[in-house]
A and B are shown apart, each in its own frame.
Chain A
Amino acid sequence: MKSIRFMPLGDQAIIVSFGNGLSKQVNQRVQSFRHLLLRQKWPFIVDVVATFTNVTVFYNATKQSYPEVRNELKRLLEVENRFNTKKSVQNIYLPVLYDGMDLERVSEKTGLSKKEIIHHHTNQAYPIYMVGFLPGFPYIGGFTEKLSIPRLDKPRNQVPKGSVGIINSQSGIYPVSSPGGWNIIGTTPVELIRLDKKYPFYYQAGDYITFYPVDEDEYKSIRQNKLFEPKIEVIQDGD
Chain B
Amino acid sequence: MLKVINPGILMTVQDQGRKKHRSFGVPMSGVMDHYAANCANYLLGNSEKEAVIEITMGGVTLDVVEDTDISVTGGDLNGYINEKHLPMWKKLTVHSGDRLTFKGPKSGMRTYIALPGGIESPSYLGSQSVYEKAGFGKAFQKGDNIKGRQSTAAHAKSIQPMKIPTYTKEVTVRVVPSHYESSFKDSSIQYFYEKGFTIKAADRMGCQLQGHRLERKENIDILSEATTYGTIQVPAEGSPIILLADAQTTGGYPTIGTVLTEDLWRIAQLPPGGKLFFERYPLKEDLIERSSSYESIDS
Contact = CB atoms under 8 A, between A and B. Distances in A.
* A pairs with B: yes
Interface of A: 5, 7-13, 15, 17, 20, 22, 34, 46-54, 56, 58, 61, 65-68, 71, 130-137, 139, 175-176, 178, 193, 195, 200-201, 204-205
Given A47-B20, A68-B297, A12 B261 contact: yes
B19 A47 contact: yes
A178 B133 contact: yes
**Chain A CB within 10 A, most for which of B178, B228, B298:** B228
B19 A46 contact: yes
A49 B249 contact: yes
B47 to A, nearest CB: 16
A7 to B, nearest CB: 4
Contacts of A67: 284, 287, 294, 297-298
A52 B134 contact: no
A164 B230 CA distance: 31
Contacts of B24: 131, 135-136, 201, 204
Nearest to B255: A9
Interface string B105-131: 000000000000000000011000000
Interface residues of B, number: 41
A15 B135 contact: no
A20 B225 CA distance: 11
B1 interface: no
A10 B261 contact: yes
B248 interface: yes
A178 B224 CA distance: 18
Given A66-B284, A67-B287, A130-B250, A195 B135 contact: yes
Contact of A47 (B22, B223, B298): B22
Given A10-B176, A13-B228, A195 B124 contact: yes
Contact of A51 (B136, B226, B260): B226
A217 B188 CA distance: 57
A4 to B, nearest CB: 13
A15 B257 CA distance: 13
A83 B66 CA distance: 60
Contacts of A130: 224, 250
Nearest to B232: A10
B274 to A, nearest CB: 22
Contact of B226 (A9, A71, A175): A9
A133 B259 CA distance: 21
Contacts of A15: 179, 225-226
A10 B256 CA distance: 11
7 contacts: A22-B223, A34-B23, A51-B225, A135-B26, A136-B24, A195-B124, A201-B24
Contacts of B19: 46-47, 58
Given A9-B228, A49-B22, A67-B287, A135 B258 contact: no
A13 B226 contact: yes
Given A50-B23, A132-B25, A178-B133, A7 B179 contact: yes
Given A67-B287, A135-B133, A200-B125, A205 B23 contact: yes
